[in-house]
Amino acid sequence: MGLLTAIVCIVVLRVEAQSPKGKYGNVALTNATIETITKGTIQNGTLLIVDGKIAAVGGNVSIPSGTETIDCKGQFIYPGMIDAGTNLGLNEISSVARTTDFNEIGEVIPQMKALTAVNPNASAIPVTRVSGVTTALSIPTGGMLSGTAALINLHGYTPDQMFAGFEGIVLNFPNTGRRGFFDRRTDEEIKKASDKALASLNDVWEKATQYQKLDSATKGKAGYYPELQALIPVMRGEQTLLVEVNASKDIQAALKWLKEKKVKKSILTGVAEGWRVADEIAKSGIPVITGGVLELPTRDYDRYDKAYANPGLLKKAGVKVAIKSESNNNNYRNLPYHAGFAVAYGMNKEDALKAITIIPAELLGVANKLGSIEVGKSATLFICNGDPFETKTQISHVFIEGWSMPMVSRQTELYNEFLKREPGVKK
């Protein structure tokens, strides 16, 4: 008997030691303040999740009998936040090259697909999603045309299960800025490098244009040129070009270039000095994914808070603005704080909320599924006890495509183990 108990205990311990899994099922979230983003705020509302989608939302929703109910009294429901500037899944430890997959060799490699290398078990994924960031654009970097970025939901066991329906080609537009304290090139060297890069970009574009014509003429039998093939959807306006550009001069040059090349679908990303040329960006009609917001001014003589104010100034000028967090640091959980700082330094709060929900969803062509609380959309959302921008706000539940996420990450597990360590000093 004692032995049996021991075996049962071991089995139970084993089960407890496993990482908790996501849970799928129909759920009713009741008595909540629901921030729909697109259709105002619903007080004391109910949100019904059926088959992974939002089946009903409002003040008067009938709940099918037997549906699990979560009482959200005093709580708020928001759509999952979208960080349109990460390398989630591609980067485990940024300074250990063998653990990173975002930077392939080559200057012109648009055919390199982020989705291929997304590691569904990257440690940063649970860390990010328990903070309400449910969806992320995972971006390859380096070179000129770095690869194909992919939008992923932060739950799933294969890249395809995570794929959220958007891929875009990344272009690092020729840069006349300095890269940091160790970039000791002269101004002349910088100019030369950027001129050369632009010439080489134009060359690639010319080839891709010709190839695209050949491809049409030969009905897809123009030969195997993977980097040119990968650019065809952009040439034909079927895919978005994500143009990373930051210095004001470069932004102007990029706008001119995009117009000249008649690129139909494009988004400017980064855009650190956007405020300097905000009117020109607005006039172009090209939308922007800007960030990180928690940054230094780019020039010594600029006002100290320009990076914080940038999203608000762009919006004020009439630019369509999404906000992203910092790239490459695995702290995408701070996305709401980037938006929050934009608010503290001048952006309208509602606009900042949209800038991390519905606007990125629209820009990435997934607004039919993500970015707001609306009937028929994916049940990708979170429940919290206050303003999601506020630092101390706690998130109690996260749903991704109807899957209720375990609210744990390695960081919470370490907390639970070490808050009251046993044994203490004496064993």
Residues from 27 through 66 that contact other proteins (CB under 8 A): none
Residue 167: enclosing H or E segment and its boundaries? strand 163-172
Q: How far apart are CA 267 and CA 289, in angstroms?
A: 7
Nearer to other proteins, 205 or 341 (CB): 341
Q: Measured from the CB of residue 419, what is the shortest distance to other proteins in angstroms?
A: 5
Encoding tokens for residue 337? 């704080």
DSSP state of 275: G
The full length of the chain comes to 427
Residue 315: count of CB within 10 angstroms of its CB:
25
> How far apart are CB 345 and other proteins at their closest, in Å?
7
Member of 266, 334, 378, 404 binding other proteins (CB under 8 A): 334
Q: Which of residues 129-188 bind other proteins (CB under 8 A)?
A: 142, 175-183, 187
18 binds other proteins (CB under 8 A): no
Q: Does 327 bind other proteins (CB under 8 A)?
A: yes
Contacts to other proteins from residues 377-406, by CB under 8 A: 387, 389-394
Which residues is 142 bridged to in the sheet? none
Measured from the CB of residue 119, what is the shortest distance to other proteins in angstroms? Answer: 13
Minimum separation from the CB atom of position 61 to other proteins (A): 31
Rule CB under 8 A: say whether 328 interacts with other proteins: yes
Among the listed ranges 28-36, 91-99, 144-152, 205-213, the one in contact with other proteins (CB under 8 A) is: 91-99
What span, in angstroms and rounded, lies between the C-alpha atoms of 348 and 218?
52
Closest CA to 388 of 313, 329, 338: 338
Q: Does residue number 224 form part of the binding site for other proteins (CB under 8 A)?
A: no
Span 248-307, contacts to other proteins by CB under 8 A: 248-249, 272-273, 294-305
| Preceding peptide of 365 cis, ω within 30° | no
Question: Does 76 interact with other proteins (rule: CB under 8 A)?
Answer: no
Q: Does 341 bind other proteins (CB under 8 A)?
A: yes
Q: Is 348 in the site for other proteins (CB under 8 A)?
A: no
Spatial distance between the Cα atoms of 289 and 283, rounded to a whole number of angstroms: 16
Q: Identify the residue among 7, 93, 199, 375 touching other proteins (CB under 8 A).
A: 93
Cβ-in-10-Å burial (0-12, 13-18, 19+) of 272 comes to buried
381 neighbors 136 (Cβ within 8 angstroms): no
CB-nearer residue toward other proteins: 4 or 96: 96
Quickly count: other Cβ atoms within 10 Å of residue 279's Cβ.
11
Task: Quote the CA–CA distance of 86 and 84 in Å, as a whole number.
Answer: 6
- Pick one of 48, 247, 281, 361: the residue that binds other proteins (CB under 8 A): 247
Rama region for 287: left / alpha / beta (φ>0; ψ in -120 to 50; rest) = beta
Contact between 194 and other proteins per CB under 8 A: no
Residue whose CB is less far from other proteins, 229 or 269 = 269
Partner residues linked to 290 by β-bridges: 270, 323
- In degrees rounded to 5, what are phi and psi of residue 153? -85, 145
Q: Is 310 in the site for other proteins (CB under 8 A)?
A: no
Residue 331 interacts with other proteins (CB under 8 A)? yes
8 A C-beta contact, residue 27 and residue 34: no
Residue 408 in the binding site for other proteins (CB under 8 A)? no
Decide if residue 326 touches other proteins (CB under 8 A): yes
Is residue 97 at the binding interface for other proteins, with CB under 8 A as the rule? yes
